[in-house]
């Protein structure tokens, strides 16, 4: 007779782990500490990095 292995379903909360928010465009932007400010064309520029997925963007003010 064959041995029956129980099937374990993954927990949906742990599986998503915040990445579904980033895929929908709701990143958790935080200023990057290594390059706090930069000057480009006379504007103040801040580099931001997402705390969940690691994506980065540049914001000019």
32 within a domain of the structure (yes/no): yes
24 to each of 6, 29, 47, how far by Cα in Å?
A: 34, 14, 21
Residue 8 lies in a domain: no
pTM strictly above 0.75:
no
Q: How many structural domains comprise the chain?
A: 1
Going by C-alpha positions, the residue among 28, 20, 29 that lies closest to residue 58 is: 29
Domain assignment present for residue 7? The answer is: no
Does residue 54 have a pLDDT over 80?
A: yes
Q: Is 42 helix (H, G, I), strand (E, B) or coil?
A: coil
pLDDT reported for residue 35: 65
Question: Per the domain annotation, does 13 fall within a domain?
Answer: no
Q: Is residue 40 part of a domain?
A: yes
Q: Give residues with Cβ within 8 angstroms of 28, minimum separation 6.
A: 18, 21, 22, 50, 51, 52
The pLDDT of residue 29 is: 92
Q: Which domain does 43 fall in, by range?
A: 27-61
Please report whether residue 9 resides in a domain: no
Residue 56 within any structural domain of the chain: yes
Better-predicted residue by pLDDT, 41 or 4:
4
pLDDT tens per residue, range 8-35: 887 766 666 666 788 888 889 998 877 6
């Amino acid at each position: 007779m064959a041995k029956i292995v129980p099937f374990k379903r993954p927990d949906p909360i742990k599986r998503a782990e915040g990445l579904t928010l980033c895929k929908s465009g709701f990143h958790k932007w935080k200023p990057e500490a290594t390059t706090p400010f930069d000057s480009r064309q006379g504007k103040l520029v801040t580099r931001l990095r997402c705390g969940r997925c690691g994506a980065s963007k540049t914001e000019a003010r």
